[in-house]
Structure 1
Amino acid sequence: MSLLASKSPLYATGKSLGLLFLFLLTGLFLDSFYFYEVTKYAQWYANIAMFIVTAIVFIKVSKRSKEQMITAIFIAIIGEHLFSLVLGMYTYRLGNVPHYVPPGHALVYISVLYFSKASSIIKFRSKIEVVFSIFIFIYALVFLIVKNDVFGFAMTIATLFILKNKPRERLFYLTMYITVAFLEIVGTTYKCWWWPSTAWGVIDFLPSHNPPSGISLFYFLLDLGSLWLYKQRHKLAWSRMKNIRKIRIQKQFVSN
């Protein structure tokens, strides 16, 4: 059964986010501080696991999704080296950028994309957005109160404010927030990487937790970058799609 055409929201969620979360739990453990005590080649096991899973997903997705995955990997390579090694916003266990990280970004991106595009999910879109928004706010508020995560809370409020006027992208980015929150909690718990106690270790008046709750705001840059590059490569197709969407909106307006 196709994930996008599935009539069961549980099936669509399990085949996209469920499998992704399971892989993050097991895959990141291979690069964890705990597994490193078993073998000094721990990170290479994580790299191999990520390459295999990413290759399997790459083979199965559509041509357009393949191009988006490649673009996401390209942007992630640049972004990870800039944010981690140059700016020191966060630090990986071995002080490098692990090879599994860029394809990991692509895997997260495509999993969230397919979840948000599944017909069974779109059917309950409004309700899901409300539930996700409430969960995200409570999640960030708990981090603020319990962990003094001012930085994360500020980014969360900024995220919710931005998405207020972006109905078409809202489900995707709300899902991305929750996915990144899970990813960051797993990664920092395994000690694969860590964040400084203030915003990027530079802005002292913005206390931060490890990880900050709203860090998915920076994942949006990856998503926006991937979309922008895709538009540049397919300007004609993108323009045609926008015209079709405009005609549909006009027909709906007239019919109402």
Structure 2
Amino acid sequence: MSVVTSKTFFPAFIKTLGTLFLYIFVGLLLDSVFISENYQDSQWLANLVMVIIFSITLFKVNRRIREQMIYAVLIATVGEYAFSLGMGMYTYRLENIPHYIPMGHALVYAGVLYFTKTTYSKNNKVLLEKVFTILIILYAVVFLIFKNDVFGFVLTVATLLVLRKKPRERMFYLAMFIAVGYLEIIGTNYQCWWWPTTAWDVIPFLPSANPPSGISFFYFGLDLGCLYFYKKRHKIAWARMKSIRRLKN
């Protein structure tokens, strides 16, 4: 059974988000403070493992997602240098941009996209959206109460407000929020990177947790960028798809 045709939750989850979560858990451990202090610095190994996993994934996905993953790497590279080194929004352990990070963004993008395309997700779209929304609200509220995460809470509210008028994209971004939340919790607990105590370390009225709960808000830019470049390269095919969609509606 292929990933897309998975009709029940566990196969659909394990073959997409579950596999992604395992990669995140193991891959970030290689770049953790624990490994560097008790063995040796192995960010190079994390980079190597990511290149292998990314290459295998790139080979296995279909042509459209392969192209979008490449766009995701390019956009993420620019974004990382701008947000981390340029604006100081967050800082990596060695105060650099690890090579595995942009490829990691592309893997998250692909993993979430494939989950939303499974038969299970399509058949249970409304249920999953409700469950994800409840989990996201609980997550943001807990961080607000116990970690004074005003910055993350504001971003979470902004995300949910934007998605109210985006029914077609809602499932993708809610699933992305969950995936990014997991990624951030693992990465900050491993001390691969950390976030300052206020937004951008310069806005005192927006105290932030490490990590802020709603940071997935900025993944809108990644997805919109990937779609923008894909549409520009495939104008005729994209127009045909929109026409078919209009006829169905």
Instruction: Verify: 1:237 aligned to 2:237, yes or no.
Output: yes
Distance 1:206 1:102 in 2: 27
Distance 2:34 2:9 in 1: 36
After the TM superposition, which parts of structure 1 deviate over 6 Å for at least 4 consecutive aligned residues? none
Distance 1:33 1:246 in 2: 52
Distance 1:24 1:237 in 2: 34
Q: Aligned AA for 1:220?
A: F
Distance 1:100 1:44 in 2: 9
TM-score normalised by length of structure 2? 0.98
The answer (yes or no) to whether the contact 2:35–2:41 under 8 Å persists in 1 is no
Instruction: Verify: 1:68 aligned to 2:87, yes or no.
Output: no
Deviation at 1:188, TM superposition (A): 0.3
TM-score normalised by length of structure 1? 0.96
Query: Counterpart of 1:44?
Result: 44
Query: Counterpart of 1:126?
Result: 126
Distance 1:213 1:120 in 2: 27
Query: Counterpart of 1:55?
Result: 55
Query: Counterpart of 2:176?
Result: 176
**CA-to-aligned-CA distance 1:71-118 (integer Å, 9 cap, x gap):** 000101111011101111100000000000000000000000000011
Instruction: Verify: 1:35 aligned to 2:40, yes or no.
Output: no
The answer (yes or no) to whether the contact 2:33–2:190 under 8 Å persists in 1 is yes
Query: Counterpart of 1:97?
Result: 97
Instruction: Verify: 1:227 aligned to 2:230, yes or no.
Output: no
Instruction: Verify: 1:9 aligned to 2:9, yes or no.
Output: yes
Counterpart secondary structure, 2:183: helix
Where in structure 2 are there 5+ consecutive unaligned residues?
A: none
Q: Aligned AA for 1:40?
A: Q
Deviation at 1:40, TM superposition (A): 3.4
Q: Aligned AA for 2:202?
A: V
Distance 2:175 2:146 in 1: 24
Query: Counterpart of 1:253?
Result: none
Distance 1:246 1:115 in 2: 24
Counterpart secondary structure, 2:38: coil
Where in structure 1 are there 5+ consecutive unaligned residues?
A: 250-256
Distance 2:27 2:7 in 1: 30
> What are the residue-to-residue correspondences of 1:98-247 with 2, within 5 Å?
98-247=98-247
Q: Aligned AA for 1:59?
A: F
Deviation at 1:39, TM superposition (A): 3.8
Among the aligned pairs, what percent are the same residue?
A: 57
